[in-house]
Amino acid sequence: MATHALHWLYIDSVLAFNDAFNPENLGIRLIMISREIRETIRAAIRNEEETHRLRSRLERQLPQLQEKLILPEQDPISALMAFISGYVKSVPSCLRLVTAVSKRMGFFDYAAPFLHLAEDYFVQPPDDLPHDGGLEALLDEAFLALRLLEEVNDHHIRHLGRPLLPLDMTEANTIVHHLLGDDFATRMEQLVQFTAERLLHREHMWEQVRDMPGRTESAKPLFTSDDLTEPAVNIRLRLAS
């Protein structure tokens, strides 16, 4: 409860930030943060190449992961590492994509708080997450950022019948949930759901969104889980029998 209370205050500060500054300045900030995120990712990948810490954990977890995921028969660990690298690297690309599309369609001012929170999950993660600069820690932060964008879309689908953002990372996010472990990932899910509800459950908000620019354009996703890796190393969820 204490963590949620602190996070609530943080969300309020984001909304105040968005109200106080011109949306164009927020767009410039997103571009600058995108560069910072890319450098953080490069450093984490270099760290993993030196330590093999995440690879070693995946090797230990492989039997359990094979119960949840369909992995390539040849070198499944390398396939998982490629997936994780693609997933983490997708964060700045997704943020830039949503920024560009929301500006073109005229709803950037509305989308800015979601983008701001997603980027801050990555560059300023919650205190109870690891901060060792490794790829494993970055996977936690990427999960928070991309799950928040997914949750925003889920809320819009429930209320308005269509997503807001041109992304569909549902399968990738579920795969990462399994990679993180159910207990830890569920805690992260609860934080994301709390954040989305606080941002989206505001008085008369859905009536305003129905009249928002761009509502009549196609909602076909421009970036999906399939774009993370080459088809030969695709990882899929194993359907429950």
CA angle 155, 157, 159 (to 5 degrees): 70
Query: According to the model, what pLDDT value does residue 70 have?
Result: 95
Query: According to the model, what pLDDT value does residue 170 have?
Result: 92
- Indicate the number of domains in the chain: 1
Token couple for 154: 């889920």
Provide block-wise average pLDDT over 10 residues at a time, the chain (241 residues).
42 46 55 81 94 96 96 94 94 87 81 85 77 86 93 82 85 95 92 83 60 59 81 76 49
SS3 letters across 178-220: HHHCHHHHHHHHHHHHHHHHHHHCCCCHHHHHHCCCCCCCCCC
Query: According to the model, what pLDDT value does residue 107 have?
Result: 80
- Dihedral angle of Cα 200, 90, 59, 190, to the nearest 10 degrees: -10
| Parent domain of 122 | 2-237
Q: Is 56 within 8 Å of 210 (Cβ atoms)?
A: no
Query: According to the model, what pLDDT value does residue 207 have?
Result: 64
Query: According to the model, what pLDDT value does residue 9 have?
Result: 43
